[in-house]
Structure 1
Amino acid sequence: MSDTIESTVMAEPEASSSSAILTGMKRGFPIFLGYVPLGFAYGVLAVQNNIPAVYAVLFSLLVYAGAGQFIAVGLWGMGASVFSIVFTTFVINLRHVLMSAAVAPWFAPFTRFQQFIIGWGLTDEVFAMHSMAMATGEKARLPLVYAANLTSHSGWVLGTFIGAVAGDFLPDPKLFGLDYALPAMFLALLVPQCKERLYTLAAILSALLSVILAMCDTGRWNVIIASVITSTIGALLVTHRDRNIDALRRKA
Structure 2
Amino acid sequence: MELLRNNSKQISDQIMDAPDKKKQFLLGAKQILPVALAGTIDGLVFGLLARQAGFSVTEAVLFSFLVNAASSQFATLGFISQGVAGFPILISTMLLNARQILYGLSLGPHFRDIPIWKLMGAAWMLNDETYALKSTYLSQGKKTSLPFYCGAGVVDLMIWTLSTLIGAAFGTLISEPQKYGLDFAYIATFIGFLAINLKSTFYVKTALVASSLACLGYHLNGVTLSVILGTFSAVIMGVIFDER
Cα shift at 1:186: 1.3
Seen in structure 2, the aligned counterparts of structure 1 residues 48 and 87 have a Cα distance that, compared at 3 Å, is: same
Q: Which residue among 228, 231, 237 is the counterpart of 1:233?
A: 237
Q: TM-score when scaled to structure 2?
A: 0.88
Distance 1:122 1:106 in 2: 14
- What is the match of residue 17 of structure 1? 21
Residue deviations 1:119-155 (CA, integer Å, cap 9, x gap): 1111112211111112111112111110101111111
Matching of residue 79 in structure 1 with residue 80 in structure 2: no
Q: 5+ unaligned residues in a row in structure 2: which ranges?
A: 1-11
Cα shift at 1:51: 0.9
Cα shift at 1:219: 5.1
Distance 2:175 2:187 in 1: 21
Amino acid at match of 2:43: G
- What is the match of residue 58 of structure 2? 54
Q: Is contact 1:31-1:155 (8 Å) kept?
A: no
Cα shift at 1:85: 2.1
Cα shift at 1:218: 6.1
Q: Is contact 1:24-1:146 (8 Å) kept?
A: yes
Residue deviations 1:35-58 (CA, integer Å, cap 9, x gap): 211011010011111111100000
Q: Which residue among 46, 51, 58 is the counterpart of 1:42?
A: 46
Cα shift at 1:82: 2.3
- What is the match of residue 5 of structure 2? none
Seen in structure 2, the aligned counterparts of structure 1 residues 88 and 217 have a Cα distance that, compared at 3 Å, is: closer
Q: 5+ unaligned residues in a row in structure 1: which ranges?
A: 1-7, 242-252
- What is the match of residue 215 of structure 1? 219
- What is the match of residue 70 of structure 2? 66
Distance 1:219 1:188 in 2: 20
- What is the match of residue 195 of structure 1? 199
- What is the match of residue 153 of structure 1? 157
Cα shift at 1:77: 2.2
Q: Is contact 2:130-2:149 (8 Å) kept?
A: no
- What is the match of residue 9 of structure 2? none
- What is the match of residue 146 of structure 2? 142
Amino acid at match of 2:150: Y
Distance 1:70 1:24 in 2: 27
Distance 1:14 1:65 in 2: 31
Larger radius of gyration: 1
Amino acid at match of 2:41: P
- What is the match of residue 103 of structure 2? 99
Q: Is contact 1:57-1:161 (8 Å) kept?
A: yes
Matching of residue 119 in structure 1 with residue 89 in structure 2: no
The Cα RMSD (Å) is 2.0
Give aligned-pair identity as a percent: 27
Q: Is contact 1:60-1:160 (8 Å) kept?
A: yes
Q: How many residues align?
A: 233
Cα shift at 1:213: 2.3
Q: Which residue among 112, 135, 141 is the counterpart of 1:108?
A: 112
Distance 2:159 2:222 in 1: 32
Cα shift at 1:63: 0.9
Amino acid at match of 1:181: A
Amino acid at match of 1:138: K
Distance 2:186 2:65 in 1: 18
Distance 2:234 2:82 in 1: 35
